[in-house]
Amino acid sequence: MARSQLVLSTQQLHELKHLLSQFSQQADVRFAMLGDLSGLDIVSWDSGTGTDIGSVAALSAGDMMATMEVGRLLGGKRACNLIVQEHDDLTILISRIGEALLLLIATARDVPLGWSRLALKRSSDKILAIVGSAAMVPPPDAISEDFERSFAAQIDNIW
């Protein structure tokens, strides 16, 4: 994936960490993470399960990008803003924030989906207030058109 262009101040990072730590006050929230669509984690909160945050961030971004592409291929006119995964004992919600960010929360399966969606919405609004226009800058393309042309030319030369 491409490298992130997001630059945040120490104050912004502190505010974001504080915001995600508020999930710890909810009994059945297990994990919360703010990442970008290039697959990098920005801040996270974990209930102590020792989650591989870098992998979760990369896979979440890939999941969001793949879901957006499926929607586009099927004629979707609007970008995907929410993915819900229901597992045996866990519910995972991934919400897109602006053009560049995503927010993931994992809860126990019995947490009402409506509460989780509302928590995501409220947190997303607060995140946008903290990061401002930085959330609206999409990640750079992973592969440029020039690279694609050069790559195709090299392949043609081989054959």
Q: Where in the chain are the domains? A: 10-158
Tell me the pLDDT band of 157, cut-offs 50, 70 and 90: confident
Q: pLDDT tens for residues 67-117?
A: 888 888 888 876 778 899 999 999 999 999 988 899 999 999 999 999 899
Calpha distance 105→92 (Å, rounded): 6
Tell me the pLDDT band of 149, cut-offs 50, 70 and 90: confident
Tell me the pLDDT band of 66, cut-offs 50, 70 and 90: confident
Q: pTM (2 decimals)?
A: 0.80
CATH class of the structural domain 10-158: alpha beta
Return the exposure string of 18-41: e unless at least 16 CB atoms fall within 10 Å of the residue's CB, then b. ebbeebeebebbbbbbbbbbbbbb
